[in-house]
Each structure stands twice: as C-alpha cells, then as structure tokens.
Structure 1
Amino acid sequence: MTTETLTIARLGSGGDGIAETADGPVYVPFTLPGETVAVARVKNHGTVMSMTVASPERVAPPCVHFGPEGKNGTCGGCTLQHAGDALYHHFKRNLVAQALKTKGLTPEVAPLVIARPGERRRVVFTARRTEKGVLLGFNQAGSHHIVSIDHCPISSEGIISQLAAIRRVAGAIATSAEPFRVTVLETLPGLDLAFEGVKKVGDKERRAVTECVLSLRGIARVSSDGEILIEPQKPVIDFGGVRVSPPAGGFTQATKPAEDAMAELVLTALGKAKRVADLFAGSGTFALRIARQAKVHAVEGDEKALKALDHAARNTQGLKPVTVERRDLFRRPLMASELKVYDAVVFDPPRAGAEDQCKELARSGVKTIVAVSCNPISLARDLSILTAAGYRIRLVTPVDQFLWSAHVEAVAVLDR
C-alpha cells in the first residue's frame, strides 16, 4: 500500500472517481471530477484519506449510512449521494450515450427521466440472526458485512415504516446465523416479503412465521424460495389500471414512477399498431397496458409470471384480446416468419439482452420495435444488430429508477 495525492479526472461507469496515473487508472470511490485527494492506494484502487480540493458539484449526502463516514459502516446500496443533481443526471444519461457510441450509434438521446427519494417500492435487504437479534440492512460494498439501517432515503415510507415488522418476520424464519436475503415489495394491500437462502424452513418456522404475521398489520404475504408460507391478503400491484397479483419473489420494476414513464414511452411509440408482440413480458408490465389499445401476444419464459398476466387479462374488462405463450426466448426466439403478423414488437429482456431475438427481428418485416433495457451495454449490441438490418433509431430515453447508483434503464424506439 502506498499513499499519494491524485486528481480525479472523471467518473467511471460504476460511479467511482478515476484518476489517471503513469501506472494506469486508479479508482477512488466517493470522489468527483476535479477533486484533489490523498489516497491510500492498493494497485488500482484508492481509499480517500483527506481532500485538499473539493468539487463545487459536491453535496452533503442525505443518508447517514452513506460513504466513508457511514453509520455502522458504508452501505453498499448507493454510490453517488455526494454528487449534485446536474452532475449526477449527466452521468446517468452519459452511461447510455457512451454505450451506444461504442457501437458507432449516435441517435438522439433524450434528457434523463429522473428518480426522486422515497420512490422505491421494491428493496432487497440482507439479514442475519445474531445473539442481539436480527441484523437487517445492506451489504457494505465488496464485503459480507451487513450495515444495519434504520432509514433509507431511496425507499418508500411504506417499507421504512415497517422495518421493525420485517425484522420480526425475519427472526421467525431464520434457522441459523447464516445470512439470507429478503425482497420487500410494497403492494396495495401490504408488503410482500420474499425470503431467499433461508436453510431448512420446517414446521416450527412455518408456525412461528404464521403467528408473527397474524400479530402484525401491513404484511400481505411471506414466501421462502418461492413457497408461500402465509398470505393474509393477495398482493396486488397496478399496471395502468389493471390489477395484477405477481408471483412470490417475481420480478417487478423497482419504482412505479419509472415504470409509468417507460410504459408511456412504449405506448406512444406503438401509436396505432393493431397487433403487438410483447417479448419477455413478465407479469404484464407493458402487455396489460398495451391491451387497452391493441391486441397483444405476450411471451414469457417464467410460468408463474405468465399465469399472473393471463389471470389479470381474463379478469379485467375493456381490454383487447391478450394471448400468452410460455417460451424461453434465449433458447427459442420468435422466428422472423412468426413475427411477420405483428405491426410492432416490444421487448424487455434481462441484463443479458436479446441478441438472438434481435437477429430474428432484423430479418422480420415488423415496422416498429421498442426496446426496453436495464443494461446500456447489451442494449447497444442489440440496437447495432437492428440498425445493420436497416432499422432507424428514432429516440433513446434514459430512465432512472435506481437513485444514486450506477444503474440506468433506457427505452429505444426504432422503425423502418
């Protein structure tokens, strides 16, 4: 380890400050461009010891668990609370623009759809039983240390106000001192708690969880590795006026404002399309909204998510026909011959993107394609496949729903 003074040149894609040295870039967390810092350096990683020049873009972090001075350690959930809005919003938008540029793509990139504090309706905590009770919080970056939290400025009040209840349920289900995860989703009737990695949940734990939940208010469901342990009320979320009960532990967008913004971009892009295919449809985030204005064929590999979508469609009046198909689109993408019956296609894949599906779309006659992505790198690759086949990128809109992190969503609209 050496101690040296560095000047931060830029932010890296992970949100760390980067200083250029004779030995190559050095990554320094919690710093901003233009700052001069003394760091303890190990290889290409620096830890701030002191700061002699601070950026005018630096602001006071709103959370006591953030940064080197964080309470009980540095929570690994956020990386950019110290950046002012202008710098932070430029950073998020630039993640998308630069990823596209690496593939030679320079479309119009709209201003960032911003995220605000208190919007997160889905949060993943790490928990562990200790002699003093249940430790509940977030892992410190690059560590198994759990930073216990008593508040979280990104999370909804509905979740933060129930931290004590979540700890009680976690204490009832825990069977050892091994760490486990709990995904908390705020739904209309109450919280949906999905535990993962709890070992040997037996009859004793099931009874304890049942007794605990029945003594509390605001807990709609508790599951462990997909198995429902108790469901006092069926969890329900709203997709543009359509009520859906997602499967236990199933995927949902992290914030409703971001979901609504992305859905509006999708619906606007589809225009007067009469037949639409929604690929990687999940529980119907987009398909059920699209069904207000067009016939939809929803394709999804997860059986439980698809059943939730189908049930919601069948039990909602005023929708145009919705058909569903369970299909692993990574192994068996819709072929160009199957796609020719659709006016438009929407796809929203996991982080890996939809490379093989895009190759088939490139061969299809689909007029309008809307790509929704949580990974600018795979999005750039997918769009390059489509543009090489003659599609034109009309607009790309970055959307923030993971506030103060280095994660960004994007919606790209293409036509030909």
Structure 2
Amino acid sequence: MSVRSVMPGRHRAAAAFLFAAALTLTACGGDSSRPSDGNARATGEGCIKNFDPAKDYFPVKSEVKHAKNFSLRYEKSYQVLTVKEPFPKGKPESYVLVKCGAPKPKLTGDLASAQQVTVPVKSLYSASTTHLPLLTETGTLDVLTGVASATAISSGEVIERVKAGQVTEYAKDRTLNAETVIGAKPDVLMTQGTDDPQYPKLRQAGITVVANAEWLEPSPLGRAEWVKAMAALTGAEQRAGEVFATIEGDYRKVAEKGAQAAKTGKPVEVLPGTMYQGTWSMPAGGSYAAQLIKDAGGTYPWAGEPGTGGLQLNFEAVYAKSGQAPLWIADQQWKSTADAVKADSRYGQLKAVSDGAVWTNTKALGPGGGNDYFERGVLRPDLVLADLFALMHPDQAKDHTFTFYQPVPKT
C-alpha cells in the first residue's frame, strides 16, 4: 500500500493540479496566535468523576459550516463524527467519541457497530503530514505519537519530537507496518483519505481507525474546517473554532480584493499545473484549485468545466488555449526555466516561460525535502490565497512576503 502522505505529492494521485495549498505568516494572512504550551483543550477537559446522565459534558461545540465530507453531532456525554466519504466512493463511517469517564453508550441502528473511542485521545498516529498543523495550531501536538514517515515533514516541532523518540515512524518504506501500530496501541490512527488492507487488522486488534478525507472537499475553507474534526478527538474545540474563525476572516478579506480587482479590470489569465507522465491534469471548474484561482482574481480557459476533479489533457490541447497565458503557476522544484524545458522541451513554447513569468509552490522545503505547501496548506488557504493574489496583482500587493510561492528565474 502506498502511503500518500509520506510524499510531497500527497494529492497527485487524485489531482496533480493541486497547485494552491499553503500557509504561514504573510501580510495578508496573520498569525493565529496559537498557544506555545502544547495544550489547548476545551473547558471541562478532565475525565468525568461523578457521571450525571443529565449533564452536558461538551460546553464548547463545533459548528461545521463549509465542510461537506464530515459532520459532528453532540449528545450529552458523547459525540458522533461521521465521515461521509472516507475514501473515494467509500461508504460513510461514523465514530462515537465518548467523553472520558462516561459509560459507553448502548447504541442501535447504524451506530451499533460503530467504533467507539474515549476522548480526549492521549495517543494518535497520523498517516498524513496535513494532519500535523491541525495539532500544532491548536496546541495539541502532545497527542501525536506516530507518523507514517518523517521524510516529508516540514514542521520543526514535529521533527524534533521524532528525533527525541516521542514520535514513531510506522511506514518508512511507504507500507503500513501493522505490527508496529498494534504494538504501540495508539488510541487512534487517522488515515490519509484512502483505504488500506491493513486497517481491518488494526480494528480487530482494538485500534480505532478514523478517516480524514479532507482532500475530497471541493472548497478551500471546507478543507481547512477539518481542524474541527481533529479537535473533536483532542478536546480542543474552543481553540479550533478560534483558529478557523481567523482563517475564514482572512480568506474572505483577500477574496474581496480578488473580486474587486477582477471587477475593475479583468481576471488575470493563468496556466495552472504541470504535466505528469505526459498528461496535463487541469483543474475542473468546481475544484478546490479553481476556487482559489477565482478568489484571487484570476481565470483560465477550463474554469467553466463542471466537476471537482482534474481534466486529463495533452500538451497540444493546453497550448492551444493557454499557451499565451502571461502567468504559469507550476508545482515542480525547478531552479530555473531551463530546468522546466529540460523536463519537457515543449514547455519552452509557453509564453510564460519565454517571458520569465513562472511560479512554483516550492519556496518552503523541510530538511528532508518535504514541501510545507503540502503540509500546512490545507489548514491555511487564506495564506495560499494571499500568495496567489500577490503574484497575480503585484501592483496591489507590493509589500507582500511570499510564503510558499516563488518565481522561477529565467535562464
């Protein structure tokens, strides 16, 4: 089984065009002022000592507004997290999250066989680097005890925990080692949004396997809102709500600038993505990437195509409609335009290459080669959008400091 999260191209298997997902501090973004003590649990975190069936043990409740692929339902002593599509075309899965100290509820119907887990969890294994900012930004990194592989990790905090032996690698060769996971007995293993033949074995051994399929969300804010799903496990509902509110507000501010720029002038034409194994994966009009382009005040010839995935095109089709696009937003670690042409000589025909107007999302790389764009971008689309707006409208963002995007020097 290929653990997608251990590779910088985590989303390439589904859409190589995912050129817009990044974050960090920028002039248009802003820090979420996350706590530094590594512990930001919700009020009433401690285990219940004298259970009262009439008492509501979730004083802080998350409201899901943008995400379409998960839902949260609160009862007095437990909550139900439901992932509608845990992996492509998979059936919905529900998880019963029982407040520590409360008796396990006796459930019927679809929930009778649902996995139950005590929350807040104390030990979590993560199959994707995109989970890491959901912990670091809510001050709950202390629960992380396992990662698929440390190679693609960009976060210095997480890398240090791996080096210190506080976090175990369980899929160094991109294959899940079930024995390692079972031996460690984490409270939860969070998936990377695909199925795996080892998961039934883990469940049989008593390991709760919870799906995180944020990559199936078509909207940037929908993906970011998965911080609330993680918070349901860690007890950080209040902090997650604060973090997401900041992200949502900052995203809308930049989107308003993008809409105004497109209205007063005209949308900037861009060429998104690159070829992979001879095929150009172009974002369909209803996709995550398409939404970011639109909100940044840009457009491209396929923006009106229906669907949330990628359109598989040959170079000739792309060149016919976008060969003269003034900006190319790519996703490769090219040090110069000569590297692009070396990868495929046909790239040299693009106007953006001859004009030296090529940008890539590879500015922030970790010590092992991991791209922070893929690690934190899901949580912080506001900062991705700030970068995109600045490269499309440089005259309106002269003081912008780029986080993940950088120009490719012309040679």
Q: Same fold (TM over 0.5)?
A: no
Relative to total residues, which structure has the larger strand share, 1 or 2? 1
Name the larger-Rg structure: 1
- Which TM-score applies when normalising by structure 2? 0.29
Relative to total residues, which structure has the larger helix share, 1 or 2? 2
